[in-house]
Amino acid sequence: MSQWNVTIATVRDTGTELVRGRQIWVVDVARPHEARELALTAAVTPDAARHRRGALLDTTSIDVDEWQNGW
């Protein structure tokens, strides 16, 4: 099992500008495609939307990187 950082781009329209951001998930699974799917499943929950202040997910921009422990 590995730890993966999954970064999903977000965008929120304030009415005067588009605010771009990202939501980051750290997940423990064996393969990167599993990490992507698990993060996407978690990202669509109401709790996750509240944390990103209602910003929409940009699922065309998802990065999955294996956790690099710097200790």
> What pLDDT is attached to residue 41?
97
Q: Is the pLDDT of residue 71 over 70?
A: no
**Residue 69 confidence (pLDDT):** 75
Is 23 among the domain residues? yes
Residue 70 backbone dihedrals phi, psi, to 5 degrees: -90, 10
Q: CA angle at residue 47 from 53 to 43, to 5 degrees?
A: 85
pTM of the model as a whole = 0.86
Mind listing the pLDDT tens digit for each residue in 13-65?
999 999 999 999 999 999 999 999 999 999 999 999 999 988 999 999 999 99
- From CA 56, how far away is CA 10, in angstroms rounded? 5
In our burial notation (b when 16+ CB lie closer than 10 A, e otherwise), range 47-68 reads: ebbeebeebebeeeebebeeee
Is residue 12 situated within a structural domain? yes
- With respect to residue 24, please indicate whether it lies within any of the assigned structural domains: yes
Kindly state whether residue 62 falls inside one of the protein's structural domains: yes
Domain assignment of residue 51, yes or no: yes
